[in-house]
Structure 1
Amino acid sequence: MDKIKVLWVDDEIDLLKPHILFLEQKNYNVTTCKSGTEALEILDEQKFDIVFLDENMPGLTGLDTLNEIKEKENELPVVMITKSEEEYIMEEAIGNKIADYLIKPVNPHQILLSLKKNLDHSRLVSEKTTSNYQQEFRKIAMDMAMVNSYEDWISLYQKLVYWEMRLEDIEDSGMFEILESQKNEANIQFGKFIDKNYPTWFEANTESPTLSHVLFKDKIVPELSKEQPTLLVVIDNLRYDQWKAFEPSVTNHYKKVSEEAFYSILPTATQYARNAIFSGLMPSDMEKLHPEYWKNDTDDGGKNLHEHDFLNAQMKRLGLTHLKHEYYKITNLKDGKKLAENFRGLKDNDLTVVVYNFVDMLSHSKTEMDVVKELASNDKAYRSLTQSWFKNSPLFEMIQQAQQMGFKLILTTDHGTINVKNPSKVIGDRDTSLNLRYKTGRSLSYEEKDVLAAKDPKTIHLPTISMNSSFIFAKSDLFFAYPNNYNHYVSYYRNTYQHGGVSLEEMIIPFVVLSPK
């Protein structure tokens, strides 16, 4: 292995001979010089891994040398060494992105620690993360065998997300593959759990998780008051890991009061799950009580055009008409920018609801799915894309303005989404719904082991579209494909992000309450 090359710049370099010998014994290659000018000449001729730079030198000062180095090689780590503890020097150096800051007199171990911290940091973190996950792997495997409640599944999924995000930063692809297989196994077990327990969650006196249709009444209403305005943001299709990816951007402006997970109802699709949040009703009750707003899969026209009407009806039912509220749905960049520009005008609302169709922002029409497929070929890339989108979105501008205006912030979603890998054959008539993760229709034939089937939709509070129609939901990472034109269809949709079915990613989703910093 090549030795790490260190350039040490100090006008009293002769006094540092013992330090240099110590580093050379530790297998570092140290080049020395006595001035900033000399250092810049050496850097023109040779490549180094790190520079130790004395701040207080005659001629070109340490700070001037630092500026020149950064202009030449911005990524080269520079450790500033100084006698002075003056604040402006520290601020100036930190502003120029120094890698570390040491106060004289330095001892050899301080120097060694700084080297390890800056050059071995990723290797050390990688090794530590890997060994920690190896220990945790056994614990997760044991937990998975014991999981028997909706709370256990939430904590197991959160643990998997935590490790997935820790492991994505290290270079051990083997560890990542182990985690992937553990996640797949978890989804298989979760599918069995939902199959067995989901219908019982609607029975009286049964302990059940917070589901979409009770989220508003049970979790949002207790946060509302006339004393402080609330901004409720419902981001379409937001998975738990995506929230964790952009959480640091939000918590620069807001502090977390609480973070919990709730379960999306089935199908984990917008027209069902999001309408359930705003109406406070399950789909079969929406159809019964509000036939003017509800549309079934086979009906023509938009299925989510009445969220605001559903919300008004729910607020009336809950006796909340004294709260002034407004609702906005953002489906394109232009509308997002317009709302961000006019956000100050919402200061008198008790509740402002913003539904943000972020997946539509990433791919504003189905034809551009190839672009998203390319940019988000796996979960790591999808998280990165979400983070980048969020930081540059009008939504982030609104959140920053909301903080300045003293708004409480509630962030949530309607359902998550999963990268589908494997096809499952299904046959239905021409009135069968089109979604890739769930189907509703008559005389469906399918692979029993691949699906959760609701032969009588009423048992899970879904509308019966016609006599003998049933619902099926794809489990794990499966997607439904018809036998005709099968190969073309499968290659087109494999490795795309879909929702509507049964998986940890689609069903266990974030609900976060934050207060302005």
Structure 2
Amino acid sequence: MALAKILWVDDEIESLQSHKIFLENKGYEIQTLNNGFEAIDYVKENAVDVVLLDETMPGITGLETLAKIKEVNQRIPVVLITKNETENLMDDAIGSQITDYLIKPVNPNQVLLSLKKIIDNKRLVAEKTTSAYQQQFRNLFMALNSNPDYNEWMDIYKKLVYWELEMEKSDSPEMQEVLQSQKQEANTEFFKFVSRNYAGWVHPKSQDAPVMSHNLFRFKVLPHVDKEIPTFFIVLDNLRFDQWKAIEPIFAESFRILEEETFYSILPTATQYCRNAIFAGLLPVDIEKQFPVQWKNDDEEGGKNLYEEEFFRGQLRRLKRDDIKFSYTKIINHSDGQQLVNNMHNLLQNDLNIIIYNFVDMLSHARTEMEVLKELASDEISYRSITKSWFEHSPLHQALKRIADKKINVIIATDHGSVKVKTPCKVIGDKQTTTNLRYKHGRNLNYEPKEVLAFRDPREAGLPVPNVNSSYIFAKEDGFLCYPNNYNYYVNYYRNTFQHGGVSLEEMIVPVVKMVSKV
């Protein structure tokens, strides 16, 4: 069986017989034609893996033939062979989606190399990826077992995400399984690390702690706010680091990425805690003290993220930066997004523009509610793919493109990530116990201590005390917390959904990215 079927179109095809024989000896099936009209008819009737196409032919040119072939089948790779190296021709050819081009006179090995690049590329990349990961596996294993600090944990997680994205190119289920197993082991160790260190990080006198939600603005945004250049601080709700990597190439088309970093989301890794902490510049226990009316605990009526702008004004006052002229925009539906697109130029008058975009959070919650999304986002790969597709077609992308030709700073961050849950853990609590699947707080909670990180005194974790004797518990790794009543129903309903609120690399180590326009 031939490696691939090649259609070679050239008005001097007789002079290329030796090339044809060379490629046939290498295992390719070669069909030759001497004009573009026949080539177009041929691809309508026959399956072809690659077309080798001469540019200068009488009757219909190579570029005209290329356009017609693409109309018949957009996906056929076409290699343009030309005597003409002019820039205009190359621009036209590349704009017409050629896969490769060769300059005449062509050498048989050149043609072979081009075919290998096109046909074997996927297989060669997959083999190379698998082999490279095998070499890196030991390094990652050693890093995991060398008592990493919070900076090293960020590095380990970035490497795991890198290999997860690389493994998409591989067709080796065995190696993907090995990587998932290593990621699971990393989450087991990370949970122990957070359990040992978290209370110290949020202690007011702690000198050695990572950048976290409550000091993100002070350390990662404020230093870039410049009176001369508008800064856009965009918080994409519930964006994991791997999802950022999926949309990064779209940002890179319009912006130059200067710093791609991560920070630690506070616990619970849930919007009302993390996002309020980002904008208040305070831990939840201190927000409640300073804003007792505005702060709402889980069991209280009313919206939990209604006062971010007010909290932010308080943060600017404490930082003695009341002089910053800022706007605050929250997008919770498509029509808000369209309004943002129309208003972007007006925002250029401010020093700082805060844009909170809720879509990814809506997607992750909808993932558990809608069967269609259960199909669409059944695993990490499809979750990243949906995020990319959404962003590409989102009002946010349109809005940023509108001002990409202006001199601006853009900082992308998030409040927390999410993790795919698989392991149910039984919890018993009273009627006041919260319903979140990755964390709970309440009185008289009954749970298996090994399965959670527990704070009997919430203040140790920088959290308010909703009721006397309230404690907080956080699920670890891929666990989710279920009550005994209707246990099987909830287990089956929520297993393999993306949730947040607990302790995992995916929820806690999240992106903060600084970029500037290319102008």
Report TM bin, short chain: over 0.9
TM-score (norm 2): 0.96
* Matched letter for residue 77 of structure 2: P
* Structure 1 residue 367: Cα displacement: 7.9
Q: Is the CA contact 2:238–2:360 (under 8 Å) kept in the aligned structure 1?
A: yes
Other-structure match for 2:309: 308
- Residues 410 and 85 of structure 1: CA distance in aligned 2, closer, same or farther (over 3 Å): same
* SS class of match (2:434): coil
Other-structure match for 2:196: 196
* Structure 1 residue 176: Cα displacement: 1.4
Name the CA distance, whole Å, in 2 between partners of 1:147 and 1:370. Answer: 42
Other-structure match for 2:227: 226
Other-structure match for 2:471: 470
* Structure 1 residue 44: Cα displacement: 4.3
Structure 2 residue 407 is the aligned partner of structure 1 residue 402:
no
- Residues 364 and 441 of structure 1: CA distance in aligned 2, closer, same or farther (over 3 Å): closer
Structure-to-structure mapping, 1:336-415, within 5 angstroms: 336-362=337-363, 368-415=369-416
* Matched letter for residue 142 of structure 2: M
Name the CA distance, whole Å, in 2 between partners of 1:328 and 1:41. Answer: 55
- Deviation string 1:464-504 (CA, Å, 9 cap, x unpaired) is 11221111000001000001110011111111111100000
Structure-to-structure mapping, 1:35-184, within 5 angstroms: 35-184=35-184
Name the CA distance, whole Å, in 1 between partners of 2:325 and 2:370. Answer: 39
- Residues 323 and 40 of structure 1: CA distance in aligned 2, closer, same or farther (over 3 Å): closer
* SS class of match (2:492): helix
Q: Is the CA contact 2:425–2:481 (under 8 Å) kept in the aligned structure 1?
A: yes
Q: Is the CA contact 2:368–2:498 (under 8 Å) kept in the aligned structure 1?
A: no
Structure 2 residue 461 is the aligned partner of structure 1 residue 480:
no
Structure-to-structure mapping, 1:153-302, within 5 angstroms: 153-203=153-203, 204-302=205-303
TM-score (norm 1): 0.97
Other-structure match for 1:320: 321
- Residues 240 and 44 of structure 1: CA distance in aligned 2, closer, same or farther (over 3 Å): closer
Name the CA distance, whole Å, in 1 between partners of 2:337 and 2:33. Answer: 56
- Residues 408 and 3 of structure 1: CA distance in aligned 2, closer, same or farther (over 3 Å): closer
Gaps of 5+ in 1: none
Structure-to-structure mapping, 1:413-432, within 5 angstroms: 413-432=414-433
- Deviation string 1:339-391 (CA, Å, 9 cap, x unpaired) is 21122111211111011111354378698443332211111110000001111
Q: Is the CA contact 1:420–1:498 (under 8 Å) kept in the aligned structure 2?
A: yes
Name the CA distance, whole Å, in 2 between partners of 1:3 and 1:400. Answer: 43
Name the CA distance, whole Å, in 2 between partners of 1:180 and 1:367. Answer: 22
Per mean C-alpha deviation after superposition, the further-off stretch among 288-297 and 87-96 is 87-96
Name the CA distance, whole Å, in 2 between partners of 1:421 and 1:73. Answer: 42
- Residues 68 and 217 of structure 1: CA distance in aligned 2, closer, same or farther (over 3 Å): closer
Name the CA distance, whole Å, in 1 between partners of 2:466 and 2:366. Answer: 28
Name the CA distance, whole Å, in 2 between partners of 1:374 and 1:261. Answer: 30
* SS class of match (1:47): coil
* SS class of match (1:120): helix
- Residues 341 and 215 of structure 1: CA distance in aligned 2, closer, same or farther (over 3 Å): same
Name the CA distance, whole Å, in 1 between partners of 2:291 and 2:46. Answer: 75
Other-structure match for 1:331: 332
Q: Is the CA contact 1:331–1:360 (under 8 Å) kept in the aligned structure 2?
A: no
* SS class of match (1:146): coil
* Matched letter for residue 57 of structure 2: M
- Deviation string 1:366-419 (CA, Å, 9 cap, x unpaired) is 984433322111111100000011111111122222323322101000110111
* Structure 1 residue 33: Cα displacement: 2.3
Q: Is the CA contact 2:235–2:413 (under 8 Å) kept in the aligned structure 1?
A: yes
* Structure 1 residue 17: Cα displacement: 2.1
Q: How many equivalent residue pairs?
A: 517
Shift >6 Å, 4+ stretches:
363-367
Per mean C-alpha deviation after superposition, the further-off stretch among 83-92 and 259-268 is 83-92
Name the CA distance, whole Å, in 1 between partners of 2:117 and 2:404. Answer: 36
- Residues 115 and 365 of structure 1: CA distance in aligned 2, closer, same or farther (over 3 Å): closer
* Structure 1 residue 36: Cα displacement: 2.2
Structure 2 residue 11 is the aligned partner of structure 1 residue 32:
no
